Chains A and B, each alone.
Chain A
Amino acid sequence: MSDRVAITGDIELPDEHVDEATEDRVASLWGDAWRALIRKPIFVISALLILIMMVMAVFPGLFTSKDPRSCPLSEALQTPSAEHWFGTDVQGCDYYARTIYGARVSITIGLIVTTFALTIALVGGSISGYYGGIVDTLIARVTDMWFAIPTILGGIVILALFQNRGVAQVSLVLIVLGWPTMLRLVRSSVISVKETEYVDSARALGATDFRIITRHILPNSLAPVIVYATITVGVVIAAEAALSFLNVGLQLPAISWGLMISTAQNRILTSPHLLFFPGAVLSITVFSFILMGDALRDALDPKLR
């Protein structure tokens, strides 16, 4: 104990500080990263914004008491006022309530797509990167084929197949087009880890491939993937809005920011507020996830410190 006090160079250190120093020493990359993160205002702000959006998606009633689907036509196209904070749309619906309720589909699609694409990428990428050889070549070529189809372009083509497009269909298409980039990332990350000594020693101890991949390789190659996945949530939300905007995404009567912007585009001269509010909230949401990804990258990548 006294040795440690000497190292810190502070004789008067009380006991609790010494404990903290001990903790620091055993801290993993993730522990280090966490401590660096909560001190960063960018991370705290983006995390708070994301939290608000999540709560908005789960309990929209907390933010507004109005029903987004009760639309008296007599109140159509009002500008923002004390009664209707964001004004009303062409059918007289309260625009603030609709903007709040719009968070649900965006957040849902963002999380579903990222989770599934990440799962495909983790399974495919670790098999491809770990085993190499013919399996790797096969997976890499299939990935290349899908990678060659640009997201929005492919999205338009595939989504046109569905007569009824809900959250499930849009998510499915975005998963199908979104996994290749992530798989490549996992693969290269796995390759860079698999030659390390601790993997060799695990193998020498007789660990199975499954154990080596899940307990040794994946946890150590996860950092860049987590960063990319966080940013992907934002990118997916923007893509959903873009597809809905092009009329190949969600369909009315769904409440979605992309649809709101799509409906607003005919009236941007007379009622610009119809474009502004969903556009702003959408941008803030996408912004939060990208910001969070940025903060995570700074914390997880020791090279940048």
Chain B
Amino acid sequence: MGRYLTRRVLQFIPVFLGATLLIFIMVWIIPGDPIRALAGDRAMPESVRAALTEEYNLDKPAWQQYWLYISGVFQGDFGTDFRGRPVSELMGQRIPITARLAILAFGFEVIIGIAAGIVAGVRKGNYLDNLVLTSTLVVIAIPIFVLGFLAQLLLGVQFPIFPVAGIREGWFSYLLPALVLGSVSLAYIARLTRAALVENLRADYVRTATSKGLSRLRVVGVHTLRNSMIPVVTFLAIDLGALMGGAIITETIFNIPGIGRAVFEGVQRQEGTVVVGIVTFLVFIYLIANLVVDVLYAVLDPRIRYE
């Protein structure tokens, strides 16, 4: 286990550096001169221009820029945007908002998704099973931004239960966006849980448990469910990536000033430091989540061994 962990962490480092380098290269070859754009219509004195170019390391070769940047990141310095505000300050403001949205969405996914999956899986083929299968397929098929507008129109405008947009009403205003954000993954989790449960309920150890005289609740809830959670946990980690993309769309629809909107605005304004900073941070989170899941396997399934 210890050796496995070390190897996984060592693998994580080049992957993280590689992915961030890819993003860095892509963003910094955005055509256009951000320093000139800063000056607007008026011409900028050559000395100021040179000073700014040097300050942002734009005169150095790309690999050196990357190295200076990434070593700064590990010291918590994400650089400044072109108006002199530290990117970490912007992130500090925006991340809690998106985190709240994502935690709620994750909660919806896990609780409703797994519950629906269990309900469908324990009695394969009955009407509840078919209901779950059909409704999840419909949710998966509707693109998230169509679903977002539908929810906004129905539950925000036609039947004004939830606020239409913005975050003025605290946690309550996050509910609808979070449900929309989590909906597709919720459907996947329900289907995954169901499929795993159906397959595992046929396993020998389940028959043994049943013939030992254990209650149905214990057989399904403890013995089967634990092994059925493996594909779900894997999915949750991969899903974090989709959640980030979804957050950009959901935050646009519901006008939530989170990190997704910040990336989007950064791209529109050609603010490389903002885009690279946030995307680097998100990739980091994403990779950490995948690392945690790999370790969680061992806890969930004793059959998985590490050499």
Contacts and interface: CB of A to CB of B under 8 A. Distances in A.
A279 B149 contact: yes
Given A148-B19, A161-B29, A161-B30, A153 B248 contact: yes
Interface stretch (B47-55, B111-119, B168-176, B239-247): B239-247
Interface in A160-188: 160-161, 163
B136 to A, nearest CB: 11
Contacts of A64: none
B267 A148 contact: no
B16 interface: yes
A303 B72 CA distance: 52
Most chain A beta-carbon neighbours within 10 Å: one of B27, B141, B143: B143
Contacts of B142: 279, 283, 286-287
B39 interface: no
A283 B137 contact: no
A35 to B, nearest CB: 23
Interface stretch (B73-81, B211-219, B278-286): B278-286
A70 to B, nearest CB: 27
Nearest to B158: A272
Given A153-B244, A157-B267, A245-B249, A148 B141 contact: no
A59 to B, nearest CB: 25
Given A153-B282, A282-B143, A287-B137, A146 B22 contact: yes
Given A242-B143, A268-B152, A152 B279 contact: no
B140 interface: yes
Interface residues of B, number: 47
Most chain B beta-carbon neighbours within 10 Å: one of A145, A248, A268: A145
Interface string B10-41: 01001110110011001101110000000000
B219 to A, nearest CB: 22
A167 B138 CA distance: 27
A144 B150 CA distance: 36
Which secondary structure dominates chain B's binding surface? helix
Interface string B283-298: 1001100000000000
B252 to A, nearest CB: 7
A151 interface: yes
B15 A148 contact: yes
A268 B267 contact: no
A161 B31 contact: yes
A11 interface: no
A234 to B, nearest CB: 7
A148 B287 contact: yes
Given A150-B241, A245-B145, A156 B248 contact: yes
A248 B267 contact: yes
Interface in A255-305: 261, 265, 268-269, 272, 275, 279, 282-284, 286-287, 290-291, 294
B264 interface: yes
Contacts of B144: 242
B245 A152 contact: yes
B128 interface: no
Contacts of A282: 143, 146
A141 interface: yes
B263 interface: yes
Interface string A133-155: 00000000110111011111111
Given A144-B11, A145-B15, 12 more contacts: A141-B15, A145-B18, A148-B16, A150-B282, A151-B241, A153-B245, A153-B248, A158-B26, A161-B29, A279-B143, A279-B150, A283-B142
Listed from nearest, the 10 A-B pairs whose CB atoms lie closest are A152-B245, A287-B141, A150-B241, A145-B18, A148-B19, A279-B146, A160-B267, A238-B143, A144-B15, A283-B142
